[in-house]
Amino acid sequence: MISIKDLSKVFSPNGKNSIQAVNGLSLDINKGEIFGVIGYSGAGKSTFIRLLNRLEDPTDGQVIIDGENITALRKNELRLARQEIGMIFQHFNLLWSRTVRDNIAFPLEIAGVPKQKRMERVDELIGLVGLTGREDAYPSELSGGQKQRVGIARALANNPKVLLCDEATSALDPETTNSILQLLVDINEKLGLTIILITHEMHVIRKICHRVAVMEAGMVVEQGDVLEVFLHP
């Protein structure tokens, strides 16, 4: 479903401080799986995941999602493509002056969904992520876990084909982490949504991922089923 071929990203390619963050990375991810990418800080995980929705432009290589060549899209085509690729972040990236409801409605507004449909969809999403009763709260009034639930609802608003998770539980305590991971599993099972997550934490991978790739110096050094990769001597 997602095919990544020879993907590379070099920052400041012409300067003497040039950095190859992603280095000829190839990976295939199946529809409906929860795929984890693990590696130490600086391994290139964040750059990698940002290349998948073109928050970064690649230096080389291809990302194909459901037959669509993401890397070939022009800037003005990206907005539509991004509706198909949801993303959640370590620090949530919510709009602080908007309520829960309005944060979740934001991508629907941008997509031009009419008000009545927008309200219905937001209510549905609020139920899905377990925020019923908190619709009118502002992000500053929410716990970390609740903020990430808003992030997840917002990411799912336009029914994406894939959800990208960038260290989505790294700012949360262990108990909250578990509840957010469980929500991701529920969403994966209920919607059949493909999920790609990057993390530096092994327990996150063990808890919810079907397959995993280990990243080092911008490359995949090992990949396979989670049990295979982690229990092998």
Using CB under 6 A as the criterion, which residues of the chain lie in contact with ligand ADP when the complex forms?
11, 19, 21, 39, 41-47, 91-92, 96, 144, 147, 171
Judged by CB, which is closer to ligand ADP: 21, or 164? 21
58-77 as b/e: b if 16+ CB within 10 A: bbebebbbeebebbebeeee
Strand, helix or coil at 62? strand
Distance separating alpha carbons of residues 60 and 71, to the nearest angstrom = 9
Looking at beta carbons only, is 60 or 123 nearer to ligand ADP? Answer: 60
Residue sitting closest to ligand ADP (CB): 46
Give the residue with the Cβ less far from ligand ADP, 120 or 141: 141
Residue with smaller CB distance to ligand ADP, 106 or 161: 106
Kind and range of the H or E run holding 220:
strand 219-225
Q: Which is nearer to ligand ADP, 18 or 132 (CB)?
A: 18
Structure tokens at 115: 């008000």
CB of 71 to ligand ADP, least distance (A): 17
Report in angstroms how near the CB of residue 57 gets to ligand ADP at its nearest: 11
CB of 130 to ligand ADP, least distance (A): 19
| Dihedral over alpha carbons 159, 163, 166, 171 (to 10 degrees) | 70
Tokens of 4: 């990544």
CB of 142 to ligand ADP, least distance (A): 9
3-state secondary structure 74-99: CHHHHHHHHHCEEEEECCCCCCCCCC
Residue 89 CB, shortest distance to ligand ADP, in Å, is 9
- Measured from the CB atom, the residue of 161 and 200 that comes closer to ligand ADP is 200
Minimum CB–partner distance for residue 41 and ligand ADP (Å): 4
Give the integer Cα–Cα distance in Å for 107 and 157: 7
Please give the span between the terminal C-alpha atoms of the chain, in angstroms, as a whole number. Answer: 31
CB-based contacts of 18, cutoff 8 Å, min separation 6? 10, 11, 12
User: Shortest Cβ distance from residue 140 to ligand ADP (Å)?
Assistant: 6
Q: Which residue, 113 or 168, is less far from ligand ADP as judged by CB?
A: 168
Both tokens of residue 57?
A: 């432009």
